[in-house]
Amino acid sequence: MMEITILATVCAFLVVIFLGPITIPTLKRFKFGQSIREEGPQSHMKKAGTPTMGGIMFIIAIVVTTMVVSRKMTGTLWVVLLTTAGYGVIGLLDDGLKIVRRRNLGLRAYQKLIGQITFAFILAYFAYNSKDIGSTIHIPFTDVYFDLGIWYIPFIIFFIVGTTNAVNLTDGLDGLASSITLIVGVFFAVVTYLIGTDNESIGSLSIFCGALVGSLLGFLKYNSYPAQVFMGDTGSLALGGAISAIAVLLKMPLIVVIVGGIYVMETLSVIIQVTSFKLTGKRVFKMSPLHHHFEQIGWHETKVVAWFSILTAIFCLIGFLAISF
């Protein structure tokens, strides 16, 4: 399985590298440029017009590579691809409306939520009825698997929607969401390989993880500072769907709180900022999400990306300690 996972990584990388020179000029030709929020950092205004929806590249790479490289398409592979592509479509519609309206406003919140809950339910229902997964989840740092019973499906839906939107919030600097999710993807690639040696259904997920890692490696060529293309909601929602789907299928949704610590911090910074301002009229951070706070205190965005990536690597090492292999 290791050889196939490595093959998937290399193939997905090459697919994105190949798609870049085709996709980016096409997005420019059709004026699919990013709109920048006026209330955001002023230094980002120069990024207005940078092609967005670049997440299409790694979504294609992940789906095609997984289907071509896999010797057998298991149910887990089908559902993880459906979740990734489904959330990508929601993001695509959101990005498309932003471009048409020429402003940073796409789908309405309730429209996004309906779509997200729909795909989350499909994944949760599949997992709940799977003999390999069921209604249990692993408790980090223990050997305990807790049975949620009838609460499993609503909990998993909440987890998937929450994780997806957390990844979406993290996508605010060149290469930030790509780098962090790449590291988390490596973590899950190792875990799926180690756990799936005696389980074909789980083991096949390592191929998907390899494709995820390879495609993001390729995408960083175009998305690292200064970005030639942004992933848009198309990419960030797809990545959130991918990470949450892997965690659910491994019965490890709680591990994302650890390895995806940056996602959690970004989300909490927004919650704290909004709550504080509404209750006291004062802001805790100079700007939220958290990556913008560090920009406002003088950090260059490449430094923010570097430090957040380092922290993610540390969180993933802790994550290995939290799992009973």
Residue 186 is assigned to a structural domain of this protein:
yes
| 318 found inside a domain | no
Give the whole-angstrom CA distance, residue 238 versus residue 89.
8
**What backbone phi and psi angles, to 5 degrees, belong to 147?**
-90, 115
The pLDDT, as a whole number, for residue 34 is 66
Instruction: Give residue 238's pLDDT.
Output: 98
| Residue 299 counted as domain residue | no
Q: What is the pLDDT of residue 24?
A: 95
> Which residues are bridge partners to 136 per DSSP?
147
Q: Is residue 203 part of a domain?
A: yes
Taking only the tens place, the pLDDT of each residue in 42-54 is 565 566 778 999 9
199 is an annotated ligand-binding site residue = no
In a domain, 11, yes or no: yes
Is 223 marked within a binding site?
Answer: no
Query: pTM of the entire structure?
Result: 0.94
What pLDDT sits at residue 46? Answer: 65
**Residue 37's pLDDT is what?**
61
Domain extent for 190: 2-256
Query: What pLDDT score was predicted for residue 38?
Result: 55
Residue 200 inside a domain? The answer is yes
Whether residue 250 contacts residue 80, with contact meaning beta carbons closer than 8 Å, is answered with no
So what's the pLDDT on residue 120?
A: 98
pLDDT of residue 49: 75
Task: Tell me whether residue 315 is in a domain.
Answer: no
d(CA 138, CA 158): 17
Nearest-angstrom CA–CA distance, 25 and 51: 9
What CA–CA distance (Å, rounded) separates 43 from 63?
35
| Residue ranges, the chain, pLDDT below 70 | 33-47, 102-104, 325
Domain count for the chain: 1
∠ Cα 56 58 59 (to 5°): 60
Asked if residue 291 is part of any domain, the answer here is no
Phi, psi dihedral angles at 289 (to 5 degrees): -60, 175
